[in-house]
């Protein structure tokens, strides 16, 4: 395992498209994480934790190597890297919405390609090399897969097709691209180093983080109302809203003799 402080749980936060949504989720879970405009070491208001920012594409490698104890990345990059880590919790959120993302095989609207086999002998650009190669190999389609350093949509008309990630499909439509197939669906995962999970206090800490993050996600579409009401006023309010009748088999807990539910 890489050399790092044993008295801290080192958290990896994805830098890039997932950064803002991840920080927002942690804020909703009760963590205050501050990131400077050019910094890679955010501050976090938990003395048991420290944080480092990495690209989601490389997060699982650093978790596997022990540079990080725990981190967040997509199932897509976990699969692409083949990292041997503990999958702690699935957290379905992306850059814009609380939905999984899709990696799709796409071609220009004017392309004669209608199915995967039509790409035999062609060239496809993607950032997710290993997964894309396996996809075509499993279908016995001979395709040269080239790495894309970004702006992948542009390359659809320079080559024969692309494999790119989409959340809403708006970028594909804007570039007049047509989806041939979905290669995989991916959500964000909280992952942990195997040796870290063998340390009791770190394992408990990670499990608590997972619980808080899941709770924050569940609470996003809910509204809570909290009031401080004197007991005597509460009893009066129950008189006003007392049900006219209720099934005799159902027992309600009471406050000062009036049912409370």
pLDDT at residue 149, as a whole number: 87
Q: Is the dihedral angle over the CA atoms 119, 81, 55, 211 positive or is it negative?
A: positive
pLDDT at residue 110, as a whole number: 96
pTM above 0.85, yes or no: no
pLDDT at residue 167, as a whole number: 85
SS3 38: coil
**Token pair listed for 48:** 């048991």
Give me the half-sphere count of Cα atoms (radius 13 Å) on the Cβ side of residue 29. Answer: 23
Q: In CATH terms, is domain 9-97+187-219 a member of 3.40.190.10?
A: yes
Number of H helices, E strands in the chain: 8, 14
188-227 burial, b at 16+ Cβ within 10 Å, e below that, comes to bbbbbbeebbeeeebbebbeebbebbbebbeeeeeeeeee
Domain extents in the chain: 9-97+187-219, 101-185
pLDDT tens digits, 233-252: 767 666 555 555 555 544 44
Distances (CA, A) of 102 to 33, 35, 111: 29, 28, 21
Q: Which long-range contacts (CB under 8 A, 24 or more apart) does 198-204 make?
A: 202/9, 202/69
pLDDT tens digits, 60-117: 999 999 999 999 999 999 999 999 999 999 998 755 556 789 999 999 999 999 999 9
- Say whether 101-185 and 9-97+187-219 share the same fold: yes
- For the chain, list residues with pLDDT below 70: 1-5, 94-98, 234, 236-261
pLDDT at residue 5, as a whole number: 63
101-185 architecture in CATH? 3-Layer(aba) Sandwich (3.40)
pLDDT at residue 30, as a whole number: 93
């Amino acid at each position: 395992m890489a050399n790092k402080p044993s008295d801290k749980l080192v958290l990896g936060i994805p830098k890039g498209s997932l950064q803002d949504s991840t920080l927002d989720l942690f804020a909703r879970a009760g963590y205050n994480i501050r990131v400077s405009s050019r910094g890679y070491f955010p501050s976090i208001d938990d003395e048991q934790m420290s944080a480092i920012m990495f690209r989601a594409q490389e997060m699982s490698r650093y978790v596997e190597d022990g540079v990080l104890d725990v981190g967040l990345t997509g199932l897509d990059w976990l699969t692409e890297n083949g990292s041997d880590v503990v999958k702690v919790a699935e957290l379905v959120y992306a850059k814009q919405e609380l939905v999984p993302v899709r990696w799709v095989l796409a071609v220009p609207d004017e392309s004669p390609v209608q199915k995967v086999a039509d790409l035999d002998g062609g060239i496809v650009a993607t950032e997710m090399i290993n997964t894309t190669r396996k996809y075509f190999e499993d279908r016995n389609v001979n395709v040269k897969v080239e790495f894309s350093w970004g702006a992948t949509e542009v390359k659809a008309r320079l080559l024969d097709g692309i494999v790119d990630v989409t959340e809403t499909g708006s970028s594909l439509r804007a570039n007049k691209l047509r989806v041939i197939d979905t290669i995989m669906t991916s959500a964000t995962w909280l992952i942990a180093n195997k040796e870290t999970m063998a340390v009791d206090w770190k394992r408990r800490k990670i499990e608590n983080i997972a619980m808080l993050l899941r709770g924050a996600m569940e609470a996003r579409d809910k509204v809570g109302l909290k009031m401080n009401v004197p007991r005597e006023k509460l009893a009066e309010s129950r008189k006003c809203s007392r049900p006219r009748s209720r099934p005799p088999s159902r027992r309600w807990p009471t406050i000062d003799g009036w049912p409370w539910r």
